[in-house]
A = this chain, B = another copy of it.
């Protein structure tokens, strides 16, 4: 049973391959009567696209999104919204040398085992280019989130050995895009940049961590037992290319605390019920409690590096090959809008799920 769709009530189906005619997505279940903001959607795609900075892949794609359906006179109609992004700059011959080999830590071998056939051009279906449709769809949901005053943003909190020590509560999200690292601290961002430039010069690549924050999330989102909010967030994130780990609240660090140290105590303020510490990351028992949701997503260094590497071919022989193509020395900054968009889709989906329970309380 194929897995091109995510979401329970708000369902996104993505299609396309890196070097096929186009990539895109169909978003079904988005409610009617919302005025769409096409410029905002295009802006988010521009944040994701290759070539946005010198650190990223030089592949030049206009990534102009067309909406083919589901919108009438600027408003959503409740019918499926189709996003189409043409592939214009694929240089498939760059990949000819890779037709018969299994690149290290790439999906070549496992795709071939699964399907018995694979489109080798630019990674085919396994390319991160597929995320363009996710970004467009996530950006569209902003109009729904705005109605609830929910604010979702992500930023780079670590690259290789350079770490941002600021807590999420100290972040001003207007600072994120002030540098190409999408790290809301100029000094740290500069160090990250230097690390990436050095890796690039060495024909190497670096990974890192993205932190994502949801502010003003209403209490009550999440569907136990098997669609808890953190579980749906984790699943969405783990599906992003190169992601190796997910944690929310204090995450793995919680294992190093005692219960008495780790418990969040509820308290009543003037307007709100909050906790004193929010180690829980805004989700308890799989359901949001109204506090900030925050989580961290670990990205490995991309596998495509310029160094010559030894690769096994289909016939069982080894070949030494330099991957030509066009790669990022570090994809983490480009992944920021992907993380944000998938988070927006998950939160929007759960907002719609929670509509049901409002029928009688």
Contact in complex: B289, A79 (CB < 8 Å): no
Which residues of chain A (83-117) have a CB below 8 Å from chain B?
84, 102, 104-107, 109-111, 113-117
**Interface residues as binary, A216-247 with B (CB distance below 8 Å gives 1, 0 otherwise):** 00011111111110111011101101001111
Say yes or no: is A44 at the interface (Cβ < 8 Å to chain B).
Answer: no
Report the nearest B residue to A131, measured CB to CB.
B225
25 contacts between A and B (CB under 8 A): A1-B223, A2-B9, A2-B223, A5-B5, A13-B80, A15-B68, A15-B69, A22-B82, A72-B119, A77-B125, A104-B266, A107-B285, A113-B220, A113-B290, A114-B220, A115-B361, A228-B239, A234-B238, A235-B235, A245-B247, A245-B254, A255-B301, A259-B304, A260-B305, A267-B318
Interface of chain A: mostly helix, strand, loop or mixed:
mixed
Query: Of the 9-residue stretches A53-61, A173-181, A185-193, A198-206, which lies at the interface with chain B?
Result: A198-206
Nearest residue in B to A218 (C-beta to C-beta)?
Answer: B113
Residues of B within 8 A of A115 (CB): 32-33, 77-78, 357, 361
Q: How far is the CA of A28 from the CA of B4 in the complex (A)?
A: 7
Cβ-neighbour of A265 out of B104, B227, B305 (below 8 A): B104
CB-contact partner of A246 in B160, B245, B263, B318, under 8 A? B245
Extra inter-chain contacts (4) besides given A226-B239, A257-B300, A266-B311, CB under 8 Å = A15-B82, A21-B66, A78-B114, A228-B238
A337 lies within 8 A of chain B by Cβ: no
Beta-carbon contact of B119 and A161 below 8 Å: no
Chain A positions 270-310 with a Cβ under 8 Å from a chain B Cβ = 273, 275, 279-281, 283-290, 298-305, 307, 309-310
Establish whether residues B78 and A117, one from each chain, have CB atoms under 8 Å apart when the complex forms. yes
B204 touches A360 (CB 8 A): no
Q: Chain B residues near A36 (CB, 8 Å)?
A: none
**Does A52 sit at the interface, judged by CB under 8 A?**
no
Q: Which of B239, B250, B289 contacts A286 (CB 8 A)?
A: B239
**A226 touching B263, Cβ below 8 Å:** no
Per the bound structure, the CA–CA distance linking A231 and B160 in Å amounts to 23
Instruction: Report the separation of the CA atoms of residues A249 and B160 in the bound assembly, to the nearest whole angstrom.
Output: 17
Distance in angstroms from A334 CB to nearest chain B CB is 15
Q: Is A153 an interface position by the 8 A CB rule? A: no
Contact with A15, one of B80, B203, B299 (Cβ below 8 angstroms): B80
* Residues of the B chain whose Cβ atoms lie less than 8 Å from the Cβ of A245: 245-248, 251-252, 254
